[in-house]
């Protein structure tokens, strides 16, 4: 009897460990779409091979159909915007957007759909699988779709002849150890997506220049971008930069892109983009491509943009771990918007039309930095915004201090005598001033629970940077970087949570960080 009991205990222990072992789903997208720039629509289809790596049988899959967030003022997006006086300004003039023509199949069999029970969540849909998906099995899910792009006021849309296709295709929600994360689109609050590979074909009028997640697979077009971009990067003061002219025949062209191990896919198109191109050699001797796309405005700080991108990649690779994707890109957004920036894997949109060169450099660096804190470290940005924005801001502030003796929070208000200090003293002075800004919410506040955009920004960005600076003052900058390198090594291309970061840091620093990590739940000042 004792032997039987022992065997049962041992088996139960092994089973428990197996159940608690880390897993994540993985997807393969094939997407074919066409842009109609006259009626502002994207029409096409997608096929997703969904691999169930979980220990659970799935009878349905929640899908994000985010374009519906722009449909009318009943959505969670509009509710959030209307409750924030600053963001409400965006809604004075807008045209709606939405997604239609959905007809899901699973392995060729029609799949029923059900709306989300929350009536504000019209941008989420349940796809019921005709045959439940067993652990370890895959299913091919396909659907046509048509997207009407909204006027640009929150990430995706059109403005000033430029198209921003962001959160534009049907996308499965994340299913992890905590269950389904079927979250609506919000302006104040970002995303959580499964890692995937993407093969995307984009058909559009031939005159457009396109920047997209992943590597351009159309040889003629890729060579043209590099040739034009190399000249412009080498001659940044040329008031008449070389402009793109299509090398492809016909009114329309099809551009093919491929990306692997990315949590999302975005693309941007404009007939008037200036292209800059260069390469970046990392410490390992790996060479990656770097592009910037911008408008030929008088005295534009974007003439130095390729250098800003290269510096950002070099700094973050040295501090955290090497950049793993084959290319990096920054794109200038429409002139009628000044929201700062929005990141996607390998490409980021920057909307800072009146920025000084050093300010633009800081914004580009922050957004490029999201290739670490969002893309390669795939945190749940909605529940743990600080792990996305704040950890990134800590390194952005270091970059600004090292290169310019500036800080983006204070801008031009930093006294000249402070800017003359050495880097360490400058940072101490800046963080001393930041600590005096009252910030009530705890770091561990979900994006949906922030009362205002100011609270969101001060908590997720600034307070988190202050928190990291406390650790830096305790253990030193080099040890902080070593801890981040260990965290990055352990969790690259995975979905880390705060507890995972804590374990990785404790491993590197050889001690308990209970007191330090308890601060992520502290309201008000971190030091009082």
In this prediction, residues 133-142 reach a mean pLDDT of 98
Judge whether residue 340 has pLDDT over 90.
no
In the chain, CATH 2.60.40 covers 25-194
SS3 content of the chain, % helix, strand, coil (to 5): 35, 25, 40
What is the model's pLDDT at position 93? Answer: 79
Task: Tell me the pLDDT tens digit for each residue of 4-33.
Answer: 433 333 334 333 334 469 999 999 999 999
Over the stretch 489-503, which tens digit does the pLDDT of each residue have?
999 999 999 999 999
Q: What is the mean pLDDT of residues 368-383?
A: 98
State how far the alpha carbon of 263 is from the alpha carbons of 74, 172, 377, in Å: 28, 11, 10
What mean pLDDT is predicted for residues 429-433?
98
pLDDT value at residue 302: 96
Of 398, 412, 402, whose CA–CA distance to 369 is shortest?
Answer: 398
With beta carbons less than 8 A apart as the criterion, state whether 495 and 176 touch: yes
Above 50 in pLDDT, residue 521?
A: yes
Mean pLDDT value across residues 413-424: 97
Averaged pLDDT for residues 350-378: 94
The pair phi, psi for residue 170, each rounded to 5°, is -60, 130
Roughly how many angstroms between the first and final C-alpha of the chain, as a whole number?
58
If you average pLDDT over residues 171-188, what whole number do you get? Answer: 96
Strand pairing category for 157-159 and 105-106:
unpaired
**Average model confidence (pLDDT) for the chain?**
94
Q: What is the largest CA-CA distance in the chain?
A: 88
Domain with CATH 3.30.2010.30 in the chain: 204-376
Confidence label for 75 from pLDDT (cuts 50, 70 and 90): very high
Contacts of 89 (CB under 8 A, 6+ apart): none
Q: What DSSP element (H or E) covers 275?
A: strand 274-281
pLDDT of amino acid 336:
66
Residues above pLDDT 90, as percent of the chain: 88
So what's the pLDDT on residue 250? 84
Return the structure tokens found at 450: 């922030």
When computed from its CA atoms, the radius of gyration of the chain, rounded to whole angstroms, is 24
**Amino acid 86: pLDDT:** 74
Higher pLDDT, 348 or 82: 348
Residue of 82 and 54 predicted with greater confidence: 54
**282's tokens:** 């990392």
> Using N-to-C axis directions, what is the helix angle for 477-491 and 464-475, rounded to 10°?
120
CATH of 25-194, one of 1.20.1440, 2.60.40, 2.40.128, 3.30.70: 2.60.40
The topology (CATH level 3) of 204-376 is: Zincin-like (3.30.2010)
Taking the CA atoms of 49, 55, 60 and 64 in sequence, report the sign of the dihedral they define: negative
Q: What is the pLDDT of residue 69?
A: 97
Bridge partners of 265, per DSSP, are: none
Edge-first strand order for the sheet with 124-133 is 113-115, 124-133, 58-64, 171-172
Q: What is the mean pLDDT of residues 62-68?
A: 98
Virtual CA dihedral for 25, 31, 36, 41, nearest 10 degrees?
-30
pLDDT for res 511: 96
């Amino acid at each position: 009897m004792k032997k039987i009991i022992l065997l049962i205990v041992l088996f139960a222990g092994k089973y428990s460990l197996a159940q608690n072992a880390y897993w994540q789903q993985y997807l393969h997208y094939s997407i074919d779409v066409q842009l109609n720039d006259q009626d502002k629509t994207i029409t096409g289809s997608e096929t997703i091979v969904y691999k169930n790596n979980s220990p659970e049988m799935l009878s349905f899959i929640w899908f994000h159909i985010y374009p519906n967030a722009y449909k009318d003022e009943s959505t969670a997006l509009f509710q959030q915007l209307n409750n924030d006086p600053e963001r409400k300004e965006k809604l004075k003039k807008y045209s709606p957007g939405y997604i239609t023509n959905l007809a899901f199949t699973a392995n060729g069999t029609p799949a029923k759909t059900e709306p989300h029970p929350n009536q504000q969540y019209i941008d989420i849909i349940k796809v019921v699988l005709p045959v439940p998906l067993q652990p370890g099995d895959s299913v091919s899910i396909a659907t046509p779709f048509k997207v009407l792009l909204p006027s640009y006021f929150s990430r995706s849309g059109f403005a000033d002849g430029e198209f921003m296709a962001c959160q534009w295709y049907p996308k499965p929600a994340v299913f992890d150890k905590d269950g389904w994360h079927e979250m609506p689109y919000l302006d104040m609050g970002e995303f959580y997506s499964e890692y995937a590979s993407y093969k995307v074909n984009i058909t559009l009028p031939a005159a457009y220049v396109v920047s997209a997640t992943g590597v351009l697979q159309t040889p003629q077009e890729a060579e043209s971008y590099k040739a034009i971009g190399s000249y412009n990067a080498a001659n940044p003061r040329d008031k008449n930069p070389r402009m793109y002219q299509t090398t492809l025949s016909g009114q329309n062209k099809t551009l093919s892109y491929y990306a692997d191990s990315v949590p999302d896919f975005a693309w941007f198109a404009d007939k008037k983009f200036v292209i800059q191109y260069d390469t970046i050699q990392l410490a390992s001797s790996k060479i990656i491509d770097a592009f910037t796309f911008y408008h030929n405005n008088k005295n534009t700080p974007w003439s130095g943009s390729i250098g800003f991108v290269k510096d950002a990649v070099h700094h973050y690779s040295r501090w955290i771990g090497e950049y793993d994707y084959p290319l990096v890109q920054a794109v200038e957004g429409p002139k009628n918007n000044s929201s700062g920036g929005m990141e996607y894997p390998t490409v980021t949109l920057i909307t800072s039309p009146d920025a000084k060169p050093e300010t633009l450099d800081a914004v580009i660096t922050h957004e490029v930095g999201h290739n670490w804190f969002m893309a390669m470290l795939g945190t749940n940005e909605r529940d743990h915004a600080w792990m996305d924005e704040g950890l990134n801001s800590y390194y952005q502030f270091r970059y600004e201090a090292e290169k310019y003796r500036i800080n983006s929070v204070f801008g031009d208000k930093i006294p000249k005598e402070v800017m003359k200090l050495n880097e360490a003293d400058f940072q101490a002075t800046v963080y001393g001033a930041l600590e005096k800004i009252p910030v009530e919410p705890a770091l561990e506040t979900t994006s949906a629970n922030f009362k205002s955009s100011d609270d969101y920004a001060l908590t997720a960005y600034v307070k988190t940077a202050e928190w990291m600076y406390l650790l830096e003052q305790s253990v030193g900058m080099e040890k902080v970087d070593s801890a981040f390198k260990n965290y990055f090594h352990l969790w690259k291309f995975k979905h880390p949570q705060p507890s995972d970061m804590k374990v990785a840091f404790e491993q590197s620093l050889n001690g308990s960080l209970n007191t330090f990590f308890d601060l992520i739940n502290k309201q008000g000042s971190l030091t009082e």
